[in-house]
C-alpha cells in the first residue's frame, strides 16, 4: 500500500452543493462522503462499525446511547472535532436541514456532551433502528464553529465545505469536475493514500460508458452506467464490477399504484398485475441481469426480511382469471380496463420498463397509456396524488423503520410530500405492527412483527414490487479497497490505494 | 460616423424593449410549468417531509404571489442583476459566466468555420453549376443538412474516438493531466474538434446552399456583364464583383442563425458532455431552476440582439447603401 | 496607348453570322445570316423591335453570349483578326481594350458595392501598365472628359449616389478608359429622361468624332437614329432587312418592315383644335399637396420628397389632359391621388361637385367606378392567376353585378378593344404586351367610368404596338365620350393625343395650356428645355410612309 | 388554397410539371416521398401487429429470421417501427407545418397588407420569437406542457412560424404595391377579397416552397426532442427510435442506424422536392423565360 495516485470518479447528476448537512442527494453523498464523516459506518451485514465514534454503549432499556469519540480528529481548517460538534449537528443543524435526521433525532429527549469526547443521547422511548442512523449521509457531522448561529443555507462557507474526512475540497468547475485533495492532517495515521480525487460530470450515458472503456475514469456507481452497457463493460480487462456496497440503501423498485382510483382500488386487480408482469424478463432484458425479482416490501439483503410470503409467479392466465373475477370483462376490442402509467423521468431504463408494462398489461386486456414528464412534473404529480400508476424506487436505509414503513403506514399519507404513502393505502393492522416494531430494540421481537406485516402487505399489494435493485459499481482494477462497507461508494475512501504497475 | 452612432443607439433602444418583453414572456412561460424547484429537490433527496419543502419554497421566494415575484424579478433585471440560484447556491450571473466560454468557443468556432467553408464551397459549386463538383457539393451539403445533428455526433464519436481513438469523445480538457501552456491549449483544441465539426457541418451546409443560390442570382446581373465587358480575369469577377454582392443575403441569414446556434448546442453539449449554456438550460428546465432559466433566456436574447446588430454593422460596411436607409 | 491598325480592313466585319438559340426557344436562331461592317469614324445605328436580335449581335461581338447561346456559323473580324477563333486570354484583352460596351440600364450596370473610381481603375489595371498614381490621374481625366462635375470627389462615390445620367456617363468613361476603337452602345439612353438623353447622345457623338471611333449604337427610337446615325441597319426577327446611309433609310425606307416601323413613330405635328373651355368639368384638382417621408426612425428625420406642390388641374367632359415631365416629377402621384390610391396631405379633388378627399373609405367606394386607371406595365397589372374573364368582371361583381351578365359584357368589351371574345377563358401570360394592355383597358372600361387615368400606358411597349394602343385609346375616347388624364414622358405621344398639356417639374405644374400653345409657344423655360431635347426634331416622317404604313395598320389586332 | 396554385389551365399545369421534372433530384425525392407515404398508409398491412409488440428476441441483428432490420432492446421489430414511425413523423411534420403556415401567413398577411403601426406591432412580436433561440424554446415548451402529440406539434409550430410570417409579409408588401393589386383597389374590391383572391394566390409559391422545407425541419426537430427524451411515449416515431437506441449504439448500431437513415432520406427527399418546387415555381425564372 503506497501513497499517491489520482482517481477519477463519475458523478451524475452534478450535485447542487457539497455541504452534506444541507443536501443529501445521491451524488452529493458520494462526493461529500469523502469530505464529511459520520460517527459510524456499517459492514455488509449492516452491523455498526466505528468511524468518528471509536466505541459506544446502549443501556439495557434501549433508551440511552453513549458514544466515545476519536480524540485526534480535526476539521479541515485545523480546529479540533469535539463532542460539541456532535451535539450541534444532531440537535440543531440537522434538525433544521435534514429531513431523515430530523425524524430520528426528534425521538431524542436529550443530547448532551459529557466531556469533549463523550456524547450521550437519551431517547423518549426505545427506537429500534437508532444505531442504524449514524453513517455519513444519515447524520453527517457538521462544524459548529462555522455554522452555529448563522443562516445555514446562506453561509458563505458553503462554497468551500469543511469536514473531518480524508479529502479536502480543492476546486469545483461547475458542469465539469470537482477536485478533492488529500487531507494531510487526517486523523487516521498514514491515510489516506490517494493524492487527488476528481469527480467528473458526464451527463450523457453513452459518453460515460466510453469514459470507462477508455480508462479516463476509474469508478462509476449507482445508475451511471445504463443497464445495457453493463454486460459489455463487465468484460473489460481493466475494470472490475461489483454489486456490493448498496446494502444500506437496498433499493426496491415497484409500480406505485394510486389505490384511490378505479380500477386500482381493487385488490384483485393489483394481484392480477403482479401475475401479468414477468419480473424475470424485466430483470434479464431490461436490467440485463442486475437485481432480483422482489418478493415483498423488504429487500432480502437487509434486516428483518421474511421469505415466507405469498408468491406471485408470472402467469397471465391467472391474471386474467383474477380480472374476470373482479368483474373486468373483455370489451369488444379486447380491452378490460384503461389505466395511465406515469413514467419515471430518471433514465432510459424506466422508459423501457414503461413500454414493457404497457405491452404486458395489454396481453391480459388492460390498456395502459404512457405519460411522460420531467422530474419536477413527476414529483409534483405523484406527491399530489395526481396519477394512476407510476414507477418508484426507494432506499431502505438499513432498517424497515427507516426506509420501509414510511411507504405503507397510514399516518404518512401526506399530500404534497414525496416518498410518503402516496398510494393512499391504509390498513390499521399494518400501522400497528410497524409502530410496535419501531419501539423495541429486541431483534427477535422485531423480526416477528415485521414478518407479520410483510405477509399482510404481500397479500394486499399496495404497490406492485418489481425488483430488489442492484447497482453496478465499476472500479479500475488498479484501485483497491474501494467497496468495503454497506454504504459503498459513499465511504470516505481513506483506505483506497492505487497499485502502480 | 455619427450616423452609425445614431443607428446603433436606435437599434439598442429597440433591443432593450424586445429583451424586456422576452423577460416577461419567459417569466410566465416558466411559471406555467407544473412543479417547482423545491419539489424537484425534494424528489432528488430521496426523503422529504412537509417542512423540508416549505423551507425550500420560502428560501426560493416561491411562497409569494406571482405578480410580486415578477416585480422583484423585473426590478433586478433592470439593474442587470440576474438573481440567485438557490439550487446551485450561486448568483445566476456567475453560473452563466462559468458556462459561457465553453458555449462561445463551441458556437463561435463552428460558426466561423461553417461560414468560411460554406461560402467557399457554395462559390465553388455555383461557379461550376451543372458540373460533377457542383453535384457533389450539393449532395454532400444536402445530406449534412438532412441528418439529425445528434446522430452525426454519435457516429463521429463512434468512428473517431471509439474505433480509431484519434480524438477525445467528450469534455473540454483532459482533467488531471496537468497540462500547461501550449500543451493545455492543444488539449483543449483536440476536445473541441468533434463538437465543432458536428455543429459546424450542419451550418456549413446551410451557408453552402445559400451562397450557391445567391451567387447564381448575382451571376446573371448586369454589372457582372459590365465586368466581363471590361475584360477582367474570371477570378477577379468572381471575388470582387460576384461574391461581394452575393454575400449580403448570407450575412443576413448568418446573423440570424448565430443566436440559434445556442439551440443546436444543447444537443451537441449533451452528446459531447460539454459544460455549456445549452446544457445548463436543459438542466434548468428539468430542475425548474427559474432564475437560471430566465437568466439564460435573457443572456441568449442579448447575444442574439448583439449579433443582429453586428450583422447590420457588417452589412453597412459591405454595403454602402445601407447608410442612407437605416 | 494607341493601337496600330491595319487600315485596309473595316473595323468590324461581320459575315454570315448565325447564332443558335437553345432548344425550346421561340425561334431557332437569335440571329441569322447577318452581314454588316462598321468603319472607323462612323456611327451605325441598329434598330428593330424587341427580340429582333440586336443585343445578341452586340454580345457576340463582345464574346459575352450567354452560356446556352452559341455562334453556329459566320465570321467576326475585328481589325482584320478573327475574333471567334482567338484564345480566351486574347479575347479578354480585346474586350475592354479595343472593343468597349455600354448597357441600357445604368442603374444595374455598375457594381453597387464599389466606388465608381475603382470600377474605372479596374479597366486600367488589367489593360495598361500604368502605376497607381497615373491611373488615378487618368480616372479623374476620364470623369472630367465625360462632363462630370468635381471628378476628384465623384471618383470616391458609390453608384447609388449618382443620378441615372451620371451613371451612364461613368459607364461611358469606363468604356473609353483605354481608348478602344469600337464602342458598342446597347440602348444607352432608353432608361433616361429626354433632357439627359440629349446630353448623353451629344457626349457620345462628340467623343466619337474626337477619337474617330466606330460606334455601334443599338436603339429602337427613330428619333435617336435621326439624331446621330451615319448609317442605319434594321433588324427583324434575327435578320437584317435593310442597311444604308441614315438619310436614305429614314426618308426613303425600302423594306415594308422599315416603313411600318417608321410609320409607327409618333409625329410631332399638332393636329388638334383647342378644346372648348365651355365643356362641363368632370374633375377639378385644387391645390393638391403631397410630401413623402422616406426612412427615418426614432432619431433620424429621414428624407422628404415633395411629389405634389399645390397642383391644380381641370379635366372636362371628353377632354384628354396630358401630364408630362421628367421622371420623379410627381406625375404618377397626382394620378394615383385622383383614383384614391394615395391620400394627399391637403387640397381638394372635386368630382361632380363632391370632394373625393373628404370621403371615408366606404363613402369613396361608389365613386371608384367613375374613375378608372390603366397602368404602365402590362406584365404587372394583370393578376397572373386569374383568367382574363375574371380580371375584367371582378370590378362589376364587386359593385353587385350578376356574374353571368358581367361576363357577357366582358366579352363585348374584349371585342371592343380588338380581342377575340374567347380571350376571356385564357390567362394573361398567353398574351403579348400590347394585347395585355388592351385587356387592362377593357378592365377599366368594364365599370363604365367617366374618367380614365392612363399612367404611361404605352411606354413599356414597342413602337409599332405603341401606335396601335394609342389609336385604340383615341378611338374609344371618341366613341364613349371619355375624359382622360394621360401621363407620359414622351412629348411626341403627348402631342399626338392630348388636347391640353400640363408640364410638371419637381412636384409643381409649371405650365398648363392647350397642346398647340404649349408646343408651339412654350412659356416656361423648362418646357422649352424639354421640347428642345426631343431627339430627331429635324427629321419628319416622310408623308408617303405615314399614309401607307400607319393608318392602315391602326386597328390590327396582331400585336 | 391549393386549387389556386394548380391553375386550371392545362398548359400552365403541364409547364409546371415539365419544369419540375427537369430537376432529376426533385423527381427522385418525390418518388421516395410517395413511397414513404405509401408505407405510412399501409403500415398496418405490412406489419399488422403493433410496433410496440415484442415479436423477436431483444438485440437481434439485421437480416435475422423474425426481424428483417433487427430488433431493439425489448425485441421489437425495427422494420415495423420504421413503417409505423413514418406515420407519426409525417403526421407531426405536416400538422406542425400546417399550424405554422397558418399562424405565419395570417400574421404576415395582416402585417404586410396593412403596414404602418399594425406592421410594426406584428413585427416586434415576431422579433420576440426570433430572438429566443428556437430549439431552446421548443424544449422548454414541450417540457412544460409535458410531451404529447399536441404539445410537440404546437411547440414545433410556435418556433417555426416567424420566418414564414416574414416571408409572407415580404410577399404581401411587394405584391400590395403591384399594379394588379392597385387595379383591384381601383375597381372597388374589398380588402378581404384583395388579400384572399388577389395577393394570397400569388404569394403562395415561395410559401409552399418554404413549407415543404419546413416539413423537413419539423421532422428533424421532433427527432431532436425525442433524442432529449421529450417525445410522446405512446407514439412510435423515428426520432423516438434513434433517441431510445442511441445509448446502445455500441452494441447495436442497427437500432439507431435504420431510423436515422429513414429520417435522413425523408428529410433529404423533402428538401429535394422543395428545391424542385422552387425551380418550378420561382417567379424570377419564370419571368426570365417570358421576357
Ligand atoms: N439568355 C438567353 N437565353 C436564351 N435566349 C435568349 C437569351 N437572351 C435573349 N434570348 C432570345 O434571343 C432573341 C434575341 O434577343 P435580343 O436580346 O438580341 O433582342 P433585342 O433585339 O436586343 O431586344 P430588346 O429590344 O428587347 O432588347 C430573343 O428571341 C430572345 O428571346
Ligand atoms: N409611396 C411612395 N413613398 C415614398 N416616396 C414616393 C412614393 N411614391 C412616389 N414617391 C416619390 O415621389 C416622387 C414623385 O414620384 P412619381 O412616381 O409621382 O413620379 P413620376 O413623375 O410618376 O415619375 P416616373 O416618370 O418615373 O414615373 C419621386 O421622387 C418618388 O421617389
Ligand atoms: Mg436588347
Ligand atoms: Mg410614374
Ligand atoms: Ni394622326
Q: How far apart are CA C414 and CA C418, in angstroms?
A: 6
Q: How far apart are CA C474 and CA C554, in angstroms?
A: 11
Which of B147, B154, B260 lies closest to D133 in CB terms? B260
Q: How far apart are CA B88 and CA B292, in angstroms?
A: 9
Strand C354-355 versus strand C508-514 pairing type: unpaired
Residue closest by Cα to atom 19 of ligand 1: C51
The torsion defined by the Cα of A124, A126, A127 and A132, in degrees rounded to 10, comes to 110
Alpha helical stretches, state H, B91-166: 92-127, 132-146, 149-156
Are residues C339 and D186, on separate chains, in Cβ contact within 8 Å?
Answer: yes
The DSSP code for C4 is P
Instruction: Report the pLDDT value the prediction gives residue C274, as an integer from 0 to 100.
Output: 62
For residues A158 and A22, is the Cβ–Cβ distance under 8 A?
yes
Ligand 2 within 6 A of CB of C292? yes
For residues D168 and D203, is the Cβ–Cβ distance under 8 A?
yes
A 10 A CB-CB count for B167 gives 16
**Which of A351, A294, A343 has the alpha carbon at shortest distance from A469?**
A294
Q: Residue C455: beta bridge partners?
A: C487
Alpha helical stretches, state H, A393-465: 400-403, 405-408, 428-438, 443-460
User: What's the gap in Å between the CA of A228 and the closest CA on chain D?
Assistant: 7
Joined together, the cell numbers standing for residue C271 give 393636329
Instruction: Report the pLDDT value the prediction gives residue C553, as an integer from 0 to 100.
Output: 39
Are residues D132 and B19, on separate chains, in Cβ contact within 8 Å?
Answer: no
Query: What Cα–Cα distance (Å) separates residue C440 from each residue in B293, C371, D190?
Result: 59, 14, 20
Instruction: Report the pLDDT value the prediction gives residue D190, as an integer from 0 to 100.
Output: 86
For residues A241 and A233, is the Cβ–Cβ distance under 8 A?
yes
Ligand 1 within 6 A of CB of C147? no
> Would you call C198 helix, strand, or coil by DSSP?
helix
Ligand 2 within 6 A of CB of C344? no
B13: Cβ contacts below 8 Å, ≥ 6 apart? C298
Give the domain range for residue D270. 19-44+77-166+207-282
Using alpha carbons only, give the angle A85, A90, A91 rounded to the nearest 5 degrees.
Answer: 100
**Which of B46, D146, B67 has the alpha carbon at shortest distance from A376?**
D146
CATH number for B101-275 (one of 3.40.50.1100, 3.30.1360.40, 1.10.3720.10, 1.10.1760.20): it is 1.10.3720.10
**Which of D230, D72, D225, D234 has the alpha carbon at shortest distance from A354?**
D234
Q: Which residue has the cell 423577460?
A: B23
Q: Which residue has the cell 405491452?
A: A359
Instruction: Report the pLDDT value the prediction gives residue C298, as an integer from 0 to 100.
Output: 46
> Would you call C188 helix, strand, or coil by DSSP?
coil
Q: How far apart are CA D167 and CA D108, in angstroms?
A: 7
> Would you call C350 helix, strand, or coil by DSSP?
strand
For residues A175 and A184, is the Cβ–Cβ distance under 8 A?
no
The DSSP code for C550 is I
Are residues B102 and A102, on separate chains, in Cβ contact within 8 Å?
Answer: no
**Which of C50, C46, C60 has the alpha carbon at shortest distance from C26?**
C50
Over residues C367-377, the pLDDT tens digits come to: 888 999 999 88
Split into its structural domains, chain D has a count of 1
Euclidean distance between the first and the last CA atom of chain A, given in angstroms as a whole number: 13
For residues C338 and C313, is the Cβ–Cβ distance under 8 A?
no
Phi, psi dihedrals of residue C315, rounded to the nearest 5°: -120, 125
Residue closest by Cα to atom 6 of ligand 1: C21
DSSP codes, A249-263? T--EEEEEE-TTSTT
Q: How far apart are CA C174 and CA B140, in angstroms?
A: 42
> Is A377 near chain B, with CB under 8 Å?
yes
Cα within 13 Å of Cα(B129), Cβ side? 15
Residue B65 has pLDDT above 70, yes or no: yes
Sequence spans of domains, chain B: 101-275
Residue D283 has pLDDT above 70, yes or no: no
Give the nearest ligand 1 atom to C104 CA. Answer: 27
Phi, psi dihedrals of residue A255, rounded to the nearest 5°: -95, 115
Ligand 4 midpoint to CA C361 (Å): 24
Instruction: Report the pLDDT value the prediction gives residue D8, as an integer from 0 to 100.
Output: 38
Mean pLDDT of chain B: 80
Over residues D78-125, the pLDDT tens digits come to: 888 899 889 888 999 999 999 999 999 999 999 999 888 888 889 888
Q: How far apart are CA B298 and CA B93, in angstroms?
A: 11
Joined together, the cell numbers standing for residue A406 give 414510511
User: What's the gap in Å between the CA of D268 and the closest CA on chain C?
Assistant: 30
Ligand 2 within 6 A of CB of C372? no
With respect to residue D242, please indicate whether it lies within any of the assigned structural domains.
Answer: yes
User: What's the gap in Å between the CA of D178 and the closest CA on chain C?
Assistant: 6
Burial class (CB in 10 A: 0-12, 13-18, 19+), A334: exposed
Q: How far apart are CA D66 and CA B183, in angstroms?
A: 53
Residue D291 has pLDDT above 70, yes or no: no
Instruction: Report the pLDDT value the prediction gives residue C301, as an integer from 0 to 100.
Output: 58
Over residues C445-479, the pLDDT tens digits come to: 898 899 999 998 888 788 878 888 888 888 888 88
Over residues C213-265, the pLDDT tens digits come to: 999 999 988 889 998 999 999 999 889 999 999 989 988 888 888 888 888 88
Chain C residue whose CA is closest to D120: C297
Strand C303-316 versus strand C281-294 pairing type: antiparallel
Query: What Cα–Cα distance (Å) separates residue C294 from each residue in A137, B13, C302, D173, D282?
Result: 71, 21, 6, 16, 30
Residue closest by Cα to atom 17 of ligand 2: C332
**B98 chain-A contacts, CB cut-off 8 A:** 173-175
Instruction: Report the pLDDT value the prediction gives residue A440, as an integer from 0 to 100.
Output: 85
Residue C296 has pLDDT above 60, yes or no: no
Complex ipTM, two decimals?
A: 0.79
Starting at the edge strand that comes first in sequence, how are the strands of the sheet with C451-455 ordered? C371-374, C451-455, C483-487, C320-325, C500-505, C508-514
**B129 chain-D contacts, CB cut-off 8 A:** none
For residues B86 and B60, is the Cβ–Cβ distance under 8 A?
yes
The ligand whose atoms approach the alpha carbon of C550 most closely is: 5
D129: Cβ contacts below 8 Å, ≥ 6 apart? D137, D158, D159, D161, D162
Euclidean distance between the first and the last CA atom of chain D, given in angstroms as a whole number: 29
With respect to residue D62, please indicate whether it lies within any of the assigned structural domains.
Answer: no
Give the nearest ligand 2 atom to C507 CA. Answer: 14
Amino acid at each position: 500500500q503506497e501513497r499517491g495516485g489520482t482517481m477519477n470518479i463519475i458523478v451524475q447528476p452534478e450535485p447542487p452543493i457539497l455541504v452534506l448537512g444541507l443536501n443529501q442527494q445521491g451524488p452529493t453523498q458520494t462526493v461529500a462522503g469523502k469530505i464529511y464523516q459520520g460517527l459510524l459506518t456499517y459492514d455488509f451485514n449492516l452491523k455498526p462499525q466505528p468511524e468518528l465514534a471509536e466505541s459506544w454503549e446502549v443501556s439495557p432499556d434501549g433508551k440511552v446511547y453513549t458514544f466515545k469519540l476519536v480524540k485526534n480528529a480535526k476539521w479541515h481548517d485545523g480546529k479540533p472535532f469535539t463532542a460539541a460538534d456532535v451535539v450541534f449537528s444532531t440537535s440543531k443543524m440537522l434538525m433544521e436541514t435534514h429531513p431523515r435526521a430530523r425524524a430520528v433525532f426528534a425521538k431524542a429527549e436529550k443530547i448532551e456532551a459529557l466531556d469533549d469526547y463523550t456524547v450521550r443521547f437519551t431517547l423518549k422511548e426505545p427506537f429500534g433502528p437508532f444505531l442504524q442512523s449514524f453513517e455519513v449521509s444519515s447524520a453527517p457531522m457538521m462544524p459548529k464553529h462555522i455554522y452555529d448561529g448563522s443562516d445555514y443555507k446562506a453561509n458563505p462557507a458553503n462554497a468551500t465545505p469543511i469536514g473531518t474526512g480524508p479529502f479536502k475540497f480543492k476546486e469545483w468547475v461547475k458542469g465539469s469536475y470537482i477536485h478533492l485533495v488529500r487531507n494531510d492532517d487526517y486523523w487516521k495515521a498514514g491515510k489516506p493514500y490517494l493524492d487527488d480525487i476528481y469527480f467528473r460530470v458526464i451527463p450523457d450515458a453513452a459518453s460515460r460508458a466510453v469514459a470507462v472503456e477508455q480508462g479516463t475514469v476509474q469508478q462509476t456507481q449507482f445508475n451511471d452506467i445504463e443497464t445495457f452497457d453493463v454486460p459489455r463493460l463487465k468484460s473489460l480487462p481493466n475494470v472490475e464490477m461489483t454489486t456490493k456496497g448498496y446494502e444500506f440503501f437496498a433499493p426496491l423498485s415497484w409500480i406505485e399504484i394510486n389505490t384511490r382510483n378505479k380500477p386500482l382500488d381493487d385488490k384483485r386487480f393489483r394481484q392480477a398485475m403482479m401475475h401479468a408482469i414477468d419480473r424475470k424478463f424485466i430483470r434479464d432484458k431490461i436490467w440485463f441481469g442486475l437485481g432480483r425479482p422482489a418478493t415483498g416490501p423488504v429487500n432480502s439483503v437487509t434486516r428483518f426480511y421474511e421469505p415466507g410470503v405469498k408468491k406471485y409467479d408470472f402467469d397471465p392466465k391467472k391474471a386474467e382469471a383474477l380480472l374476470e373475477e373482479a368483474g373486468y370483462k373483455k370489451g369488444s376490442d379486447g380491452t378490460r380496463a384503461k389505466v395511465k402509467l406515469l413514467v419515471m423521468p430518471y433514465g432510459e431504463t424506466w422508459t423501457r420498463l414503461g413500454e414493457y408494462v404497457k405491452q404486458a398489461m395489454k396481453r391480459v386486456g388492460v390498456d395502459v397509456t404512457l405519460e411522460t414528464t420531467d422530474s419536477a412534473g413527476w414529483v409534483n404529480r405523484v406527491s399530489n396524488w395526481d396519477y394512476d400508476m407510476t414507477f418508484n424506487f426507494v432506499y431502505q436505509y438499513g432498517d424497515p423503520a427507516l426506509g420501509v414503513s414510511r411507504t405503507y403506514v397510514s399516518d404518512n399519507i401526506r399530500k404534497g410530500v414525496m416518498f410518503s404513502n402516496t398510494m393512499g393505502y391504509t390498513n390499521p393492522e399494518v400501522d400497528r405492527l410497524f409502530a410496535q416494531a419501531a419501539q423495541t430494540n429486541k431483534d427477535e421481537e422485531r423480526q416477528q412483527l415485521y414478518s407479520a406485516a410483510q405477509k399482510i402487505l404481500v397479500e394486499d399489494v399496495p404497490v406492485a414490487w418489481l425488483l430488489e435493485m442492484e447497482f453496478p459499481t465499476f472500479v479500475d482494477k488498479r484501485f483497491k479497497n474501494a467497496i468495503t462497507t454497506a454504504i459503498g461508494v459513499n465511504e470516505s475512501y481513506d483506505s483506497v490505494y492505487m497499485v502502480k504497475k | 460616423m455619427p450616423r452609425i452612432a445614431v443607428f446603433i443607439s436606435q437599434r439598442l433602444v429597440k433591443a432593450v424593449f424586445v429583451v424586456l418583453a422576452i423577460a416577461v414572456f419567459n417569466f410566465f412561460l416558466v411559471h406555467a410549468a407544473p412543479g417547482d424547484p423545491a419539489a424537484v429537490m425534494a424528489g432528488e433527496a430521496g426523503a422529504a417531509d412537509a417542512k423540508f419543502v416549505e423551507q425550500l419554497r420560502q428560501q426560493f421566494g416561491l411562497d409569494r404571489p406571482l405578480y410580486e415575484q415578477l416585480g422583484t424579478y423585473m426590478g433586478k433585471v433592470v439593474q442587470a442583476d440576474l438573481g440567485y440560484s438557490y439550487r446551485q447556491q450561486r448568483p445566476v450571473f456567475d453560473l452563466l459566466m462559468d458556462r459561457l466560454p465553453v458555449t462561445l468557443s463551441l458556437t463561435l468556432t463552428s460558426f466561423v468555420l461553417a461560414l468560411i467553408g460554406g461560402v467557399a464551397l457554395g462559390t465553388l459549386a455555383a461557379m461550376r453549376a451543372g458540373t460533377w463538383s457542383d453535384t457533389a457539393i450539393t449532395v454532400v451539403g444536402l445530406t449534412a443538412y438532412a441528418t439529425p445533428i445528434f446522430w452525426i455526433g454519435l457516429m463521429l464519436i463512434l468512428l473517431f474516438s471509439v474505433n480509431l481513438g484519434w480524438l477525445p469523445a467528450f469534455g473540454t480538457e483532459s482533467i488531471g493531466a496537468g497540462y500547461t501552456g501550449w500543451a493545455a491549449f492543444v488539449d483543449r483544441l483536440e476536445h473541441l474538434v468533434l463538437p465543432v465539426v458536428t455543429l459546424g457541418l450542419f451550418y456549413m451546409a446551410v451557408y453552402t446552399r445559400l451562397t450557391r443560390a445567391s451567387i447564381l442570382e448575382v451571376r446573371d446581373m448586369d454589372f457582372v456583364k459590365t465586368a466581363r465587358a471590361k475584360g477582367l480575369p474570371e477570378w477577379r469577377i468572381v471575388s470582387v464583383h460576384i461574391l461581394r454582392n452575393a454575400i449580403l443575403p448570407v450575412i443576413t441569414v448568418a446573423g440570424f442563425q448565430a443566436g440559434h446556434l445556442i439551440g443546436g448546442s444543447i444537443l451537441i453539449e449533451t452528446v459531447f458532455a460539454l459544460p455549456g449554456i445549452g446544457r445548463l438550460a436543459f438542466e434548468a428546465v428539468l430542475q425548474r431552476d427559474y432564475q437560471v432559466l430566465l437568466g439564460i433566456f435573457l443572456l441568449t436574447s442579448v447575444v442574439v440582439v448583439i449579433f443582429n446588430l453586428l450583422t447590420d454593422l457588417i452589412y453597412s460596411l459591405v454595403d454602402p447603401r445601407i447608410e442612407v436607409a437605416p | 496607348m494607341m493601337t496600330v491598325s491595319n487600315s485596309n480592313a473595316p473595323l468590324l466585319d461581320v459575315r454570315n453570322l448565325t447564332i443558335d438559340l437553345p432548344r425550346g426557344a421561340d425561334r431557332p436562331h437569335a440571329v441569322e445570316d447577318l452581314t454588316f461592317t462598321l468603319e472607323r469614324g462612323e456611327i451605325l445605328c441598329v434598330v428593330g423591335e424587341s427580340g429582333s436580335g440586336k443585343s445578341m449581335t452586340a454580345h457576340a461581338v463582345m464574346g459575352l453570349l450567354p452560356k446556352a447561346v452559341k455562334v453556329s456559323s459566320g465570321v467576326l473580324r475585328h481589325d482584320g483578326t478573327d475574333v471567334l477563333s482567338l484564345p480566351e486570354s486574347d479575347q479578354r484583352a480585346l474586350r475592354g481594350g479595343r472593343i468597349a460596351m455600354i448597357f441600357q440600364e445604368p442603374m444595374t450596370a455598375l457594381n453597387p458595392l464599389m466606388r465608381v473610381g475603382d470600377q474605372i481603375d479596374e479597366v486600367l489595371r488589367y489593360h495598361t501598365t500604368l502605376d497607381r498614381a497615373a491611373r488615378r490621374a487618368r480616372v479623374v481625366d476620364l470623369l472630367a472628359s465625360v462632363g462630370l462635375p468635381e471628378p476628384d470627389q465623384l471618383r470616391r462615390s458609390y453608384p447609388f449616389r449618382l443620378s441615372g445620367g451620371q451613371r451612364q456617363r461613368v459607364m461611358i468613361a469606363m468604356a473609353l478608359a483605354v481608348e478602344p476603337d469600337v464602342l458598342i452602345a446597347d440602348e444607352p439612353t432608353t432608361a433616361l429622361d429626354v433632357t439627359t438623353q440629349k446630353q448623353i447622345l451629344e457626349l457620345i457623338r462628340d467623343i466619337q468624332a474626337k477619337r474617330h471611333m466606330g460606334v455601334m449604337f443599338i436603339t429602337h427610337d427613330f428619333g435617336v437614329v435621326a439624331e446621330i446615325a451615319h448609317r442605319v441597319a434594321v433588324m427583324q426577327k434575327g435578320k437584317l432587312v435593310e442597311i444604308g446611309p441614315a438619310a436614305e433609310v429614314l426618308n426613303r425606307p425600302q423594306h415594308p418592315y422599315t416603313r411600318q416601323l417608321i410609320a409607327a413613330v409618333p409625329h410631332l405635328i399638332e393636329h388638334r383644335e383647342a378644346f372648348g373651355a365651355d365643356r362641363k368639368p368632370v374633375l377639378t384638382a385644387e391645390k393638391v399637396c403631397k410630401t413623402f417621408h422616406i426612412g427615418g426612425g426614432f432619431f433620424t428625420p429621414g428624407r422628404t420628397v415633395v411629389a405634389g406642390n399645390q397642383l391644380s388641374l381641370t379635366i372636362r367632359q371628353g377632354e384628354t389632359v396630358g401630364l408630362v415631365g421628367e421622371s420623379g416629377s410627381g406625375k404618377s402621384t397626382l394620378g394615383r391621388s385622383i383614383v384614391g390610391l394615395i391620400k394627399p396631405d391637403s387640397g381638394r379633388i372635386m368630382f361632380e361637385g363632391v370632394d373625393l378627399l373628404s370621403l371615408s373609405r366606404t363613402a369613396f367606394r361608389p365613386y371608384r367606378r367613375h374613375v378608372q386607371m390603366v397602368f404602365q406595365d402590362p406584365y404587372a397589372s394583370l393578376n397572373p392567376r386569374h383568367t382574363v374573364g375574371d380580371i375584367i368582371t371582378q370590378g362589376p361583381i364587386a359593385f353587385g353585378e350578376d356574374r353571368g351578365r358581367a361576363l357577357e359584357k366582358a366579352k363585348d368589351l374584349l371585342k371592343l378593344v380588338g380581342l377575340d371574345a374567347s380571350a376571356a377563358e385564357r390567362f394573361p401570360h398567353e398574351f403579348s404586351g400590347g394585347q395585355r394592355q388592351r385587356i387592362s383597358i377593357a378592365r377599366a372600361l368594364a365599370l363604365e367610368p367617366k374618367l380614365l387615368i392612363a399612367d404611361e400606358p404605352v411606354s413599356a411597349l414597342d413602337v409599332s404596338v405603341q401606335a396601335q394602343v394609342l389609336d385604340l385609346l383615341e378611338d374609344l375616347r371618341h366613341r364613349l365620350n371619355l375624359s382622360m388624364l394621360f401621363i407620359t414622358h414622351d412629348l411626341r405621344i403627348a402631342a399626338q393625343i392630348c388636347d391640353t398639356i400640363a408640364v410638371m417639374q419637381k412636384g409643381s405644374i409649371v405650365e398648363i395650356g392647350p397642346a398647340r400653345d404649349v408646343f408651339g409657344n412654350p412659356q416656361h423655360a423648362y418646357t422649352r428645355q424639354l421640347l428642345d431635347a426631343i431627339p430627331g426634331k429635324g427629321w419628319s416622317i416622310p408623308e408617303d410612309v405615314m399614309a401607307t404604313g400607319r393608318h392602315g395598320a391602326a386597328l390590327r389586332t396582331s400585336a | 388554397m391549393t386549387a389556386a396554385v394548380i391553375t386550371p389551365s392545362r398548359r400552365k399545369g403541364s409547364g409546371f410539371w415539365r419544369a419540375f421534372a427537369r430537376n432529376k433530384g426533385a423527381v427522385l425525392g418525390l418518388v421516395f416521398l410517395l413511397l414513404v407515404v405509401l408505407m405510412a398508409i399501409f403500415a398496418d398491412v405490412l406489419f399488422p401487429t403493433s410496433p410496440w409488440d415484442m415479436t423477436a428476441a431483444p438485440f437481434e441483428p439485421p437480416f435475422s429470421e423474425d426481424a428483417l432490420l433487427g430488433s431493439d432492446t425489448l425485441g421489437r421489430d425495427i422494420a415495423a417501427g420504421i413503417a409505423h414511425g413514418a406515420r407519426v413523423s409525417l403526421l407531426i411534420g405536416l400538422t406542425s407545418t400546417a399550424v405554422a403556415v397558418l399562424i405565419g401567413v395570417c400574421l404576415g398577411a395582416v402585417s404586410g397588407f396593412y403596414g404602418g403601426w399594425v406592421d410594426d406591432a406584428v413585427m416586434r412580436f415576431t422579433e420576440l420569437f426570433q430572438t429566443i433561440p428556437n430549439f431552446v424554446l421548443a424544449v422548454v415548451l414541450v417540457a412544460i406542457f409535458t410531451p404529447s402529440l399536441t404539445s410537440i406539434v404546437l411547440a414545433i409550430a410556435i418556433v417555426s412560424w416567424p420566418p414564414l410570417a416574414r416571408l409572407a409579409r415580404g410577399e404581401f408588401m411587394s405584391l400590395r404595391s403591384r399594379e394588379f393589386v392597385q387595379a383591384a383597389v381601383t375597381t372597388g374590391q374589398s380588402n378581404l377579397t384583395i388579400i384572399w383572391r388577389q395577393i394570397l394566390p400569388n404569394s403562395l409559391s415561395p410559401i409552399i416552397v418554404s413549407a415543404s422545407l419546413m416539413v423537413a425541419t419539423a421532422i428533424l426537430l421532433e427527432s431532436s426532442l425525442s433524442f432529449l427524451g421529450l417525445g410522446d411515449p405512446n407514439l412510435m416515431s423515428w426520432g423516438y427510435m434513434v433517441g431510445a437506441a442511441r445509448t446502445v449504439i455500441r452494441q447495436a448500431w442497427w437500432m439507431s442506424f435504420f431510423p436515422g437513415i429513414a429520417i435522413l432520406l425523408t428529410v433529404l427527399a423533402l428538401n429535394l422536392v422543395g428545391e424542385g418546387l422552387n425551380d418550378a415555381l420561382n417567379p424570377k425564372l419564370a419571368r426570365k423565360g417570358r421576357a
